[in-house]
Chain A
Amino acid sequence: MSDGTKGTFTSDPAGTGARTDVKSTKKLSRRTLLKGAAAVAGAAAGSDAIRGFPTIWAQEIKDIELRHVGVSYSVVKAIGDQAAKDLGFKVTMQNLDTSAAINRFISQPNTVDIADLEGWQAKLAAKRSVIQGIEVKKIKEFDNILPIFTKGEIDGHKIPRQGISPYEAMYIAKPDSTDLNDGVTEWATFLPQVYNADSIGYRPDLVGHEVTEWKDLIDPKFKGKAAILDVPAIGIMDAALCFESAGLIKYGNKGNMTKEEIDFTCNKLIELKKQGQFRATWTTFDQSVQLMAAGEVVIQSMWSPAVAAVRVKEIPCVYAPVNVKNGKEGYRGWCNGMGLMKHLSGKKLDAAYEYLNWYLSGWQGGFVGRYGYYSPVPSTAKKFLTAAEWDFWYDGKPAPEVINDPYGVAMEKAGTKRDGGSFLDRVKNISCWNTLMDEAAYMNKRWNDFKVA
């Protein structure tokens, strides 16, 4: 029932359909289609049949069904529908919350074909041997994936490795290795497909000043008007960012705390709770939107599209740019990728590789870009975004015109600038990544102490 999700972009008003048709109809060869080049080539109506494949191949794959399972902000039905249309086989998207998903991958691996994995989940899935290595050579755009993921750096800037960074979880030595490999190999655990940097959302009219530091979340000024995220593994990182920001503690690695650090953090949280700092905690995207929109809180840890969803209701809400300063602050990064389950073989495995390649070919990157998430291959996503959309979402420039969400609903007025600036400004200021600590069991217990206090 509980749905630990970042977004529920499930409805599919006509807007998307229209856009997709222009891009992908016409009898393009598979290759051209995947390159995404010259895609705007006119429309051939009623073309849900298998397009672009040699007939024999099409006959063989049309009975294939890929089940892509994961959280709703990453495994999106509209994307699966488009992939099925472009690739000619069936794609079923199934949504679960984070914890149900990893439990299913581990306990019923054969009911899943493509697993939606965060870095830490990829580490677990490899350890439990439920996934097979992805042969990097077969991923056409692999070399165009940003080096954040493939090399752990961007523009000469080293990506921090507090928590489990995507790069850290990316490689294994052999296709069936169970331990991660530090350093580039030919085999990947998962293929990144969507990511972002999380921070704080706040009501500028009620907070009264610009928020650029996490410590504002625990400022007594906002007593009873603040909220944090109640997914223990992530919530504790947000709390850690707050306490570090306030100068209360310096962590060795926020993403992998020692028992003492966990104790300090949870005790501090309990103290704050007893003082009435938190109005609530939230677990789903929708809850965070409601808390803010209904005036229950004025500041809370929040996800970028949730801030946008509040703004769509004409309530002012800002996504705090918490750039790294003095070795503190920074965004908490996350990245979801796709893993190939171990049971895939033969034609189904071929189809799975087609699917992975399709994901990086740009349509999906354009789609998620329109609600503020990023593609690991911006070069292909760019072809599926208008110049205005690119300027707004990636370059951090003022929107030249009204910006629509993926379903064609107006989202931002012309002239608005994206909070947090350009893509590079944001990703370079990621200071830690979603994680599963070695002391996860202990941390969980202490988090429950906080809940019941």
Chain B
Amino acid sequence: MQPSPAPSRSNLAGWLYVSPLVLVLVPFFVAPILVVLAASFFATDGFGGLTPGFTLASYVEVLHSALTLKLYLATIKFTVLTWVFTLIIGFFVAYFLVFHVRNQLLAIGLFLLCTVPFWTSNIIRMISWIPLLGKEGLINQALLAMGVIHQPLEVLLFSDLAVVIAYVHQLTIFMIVPIFNSMARIDKKLIEAAIDAGASRFDIMRLIVVPMSKSGIALGTIFVVSIVMGDFFVVKVMSGGGSASVVSAFYEDVGVLQYPTAAASAVLLTLVLVAIVSLILRTVDIRQEITR
């Protein structure tokens, strides 16, 4: 490297590098979140009027409510279930594409094929489960016709099961892509060497593939967890309104103009998500893994 140019100039260059990101993040992320943060400390007249000021009343209300705990438990239940299934499916799809499809062109072709369903809207993909899972849906009709059941299964639709199915269907791609990406970087010679040294397939998986896909798994996890925890629409539709989530609850608050409590819940959720993401980042040093 050259001995440093004038420090001010390198400073300037640094600012120029980050400026596009800053220009996007400040107006579209920092500013709105500050507004929400400010609103969470305001008082309200109950009819949508906000009184600027500083009160912790909304936080006290949110944190003191048994409802908050129930909502978080419900949301975390959906998050964990979705995470487990997307991880298992996503991992093995990526594994198959990287290690079992010999032809690289074919692998990339198949990989792109995985993304095809995602060209349609989330909502369409979710709603198309309804005629399949309903009381008079295809699955129930088939089972009834085969004589396996005598009453249609109600648990298929408007249930937690339906919610998880819809999430897994929507979000598996977010696992496949990063895991595929990190697996593709694993040097095949490493695997060959392991085989030559007598490692079993399980050992290869355990000692080489999984540790070296960690960054992909972590990235996928961040996507899936933050999407599920920030969603309410899938829960609303697929549970038939039978379940709620953290977000659906404060969406209802906004509906009756209770802005401060909604804002406080939103801030709380943001904090929880930040905690989860930093926990993931502590476990896996994504930056190091990516630049590897």
Main secondary structure of the interface of A (DSSP, over half): helix
Can you name 18 A-B pairs with beta carbons within 8 Å?
A: A99-B254, A99-B256, A102-B257, A103-B254, A124-B47, A279-B154, A279-B158, A279-B240, A280-B240, A283-B236, A294-B134, A295-B135, A296-B157, A441-B253, A445-B67, A448-B252, A452-B71, A452-B243
Q: Map CB proximity to B onto A275-312 as digits: 1 under 8 Å, 0 otherwise.
A: 00011111100010010001110000000000000000
B244 in contact with A444 (CB, 8 Å): no
Contact partners of A2 in chain B: CB under 8 A: 233, 236
Contact partners of A233 in chain B: CB under 8 A: 255-256
Contact partners of B248 in chain A: CB under 8 A: 448, 451
Contact partners of B236 in chain A: CB under 8 A: 2, 283
B241 in contact with A452 (CB, 8 Å): no
Cα A106 to Cα B154 with chains together (Å): 42
Contact partners of B137 in chain A: CB under 8 A: 294
B48 in contact with A128 (CB, 8 Å): yes
Instruction: Tell which of A294, A441, A448 touches B71, judged by Cβ atoms closer than 8 Å.
Output: A448
With A283-B236, A296-B135 known as contacts, the answer to whether A451 contacts B48 (CB < 8 A) is no
Q: Nearest Cβ distance between residue A7 and chain B, in whole angstroms? A: 19
Contact partners of B249 in chain A: CB under 8 A: 448, 451-452
Enumerate B66-83 residues with CB–CB distance to A below 8 Å: 67, 70-71, 74
Total count of chain B residues near the partner, CB < 8 A = 38
Does A232 touch B at the CB level, under 8 Å? yes
Does B49 touch A at the CB level, under 8 Å? yes
B244 in contact with A232 (CB, 8 Å): no
A280 in contact with B158 (CB, 8 Å): yes
Enumerate B101-132 residues with CB–CB distance to A below 8 Å: 123, 130-131
Contact partners of B252 in chain A: CB under 8 A: 232, 444, 447-448
Cα A305 to Cα B244 with chains together (Å): 28
Cα A224 to Cα B158 with chains together (Å): 11
Does B211 touch A at the CB level, under 8 Å? no
Instruction: Name which residue of chain B comes closest to A124, CB basis.
Output: B47
With A128-B48, A280-B240, A294-B135 known as contacts, the answer to whether A232 contacts B233 (CB < 8 A) is no
A278 in contact with B242 (CB, 8 Å): yes
Instruction: Name which residue of chain B comes closest to A286, CB basis.
Output: B127
Contact partners of B47 in chain A: CB under 8 A: 124, 127-128
Q: Nearest Cβ distance between residue B59 and chain A, in whole angstroms? A: 15
B240 in contact with A441 (CB, 8 Å): no
Enumerate A125-159 residues with CB–CB distance to B below 8 Å: 127-128
Does B52 touch A at the CB level, under 8 Å? no
B48 in contact with A99 (CB, 8 Å): no
Contact partners of B136 in chain A: CB under 8 A: 294-296
Instruction: Tell which of A1, A280, A444, A445 touches B123, judged by Cβ atoms closer than 8 Å.
Output: A1
Contact partners of B4 in chain A: CB under 8 A: none
Q: Map CB proximity to B onto A226-256 as digits: 1 under 8 Å, 0 otherwise.
A: 0100101100000000000000000000000
Instruction: Name which residue of chain A comes closest to B121, CB basis.
Output: A1
A280 in contact with B256 (CB, 8 Å): no
Q: Nearest Cβ distance between residue B232 and chain A, in whole angstroms? A: 8
With A279-B158, A281-B240 known as contacts, the answer to whether A128 contacts B67 (CB < 8 A) is no
Instruction: Name which residue of chain B comes closest to A106, CB basis.
Output: B48
With A2-B233, A296-B135, A445-B65 known as contacts, the answer to whether A99 contacts B241 (CB < 8 A) is no
Contact partners of B74 in chain A: CB under 8 A: 452
B158 in contact with A296 (CB, 8 Å): yes
Q: Nearest Cβ distance between residue B253 and chain A, in whole angstroms? A: 6
Q: Map CB proximity to A onto B238-266 as digits: 1 under 8 Å, 0 otherwise.
A: 00111110001101111111100100000
Contact partners of A283 in chain B: CB under 8 A: 236, 241
Q: Nearest Cβ distance between residue B69 and chain A, in whole angstroms? A: 10
Does A122 touch B at the CB level, under 8 Å? no
Q: Nearest Cβ distance between residue B243 and chain A, in whole angstroms? A: 7
With A1-B123, A449-B67 known as contacts, the answer to whether A444 contacts B130 (CB < 8 A) is no
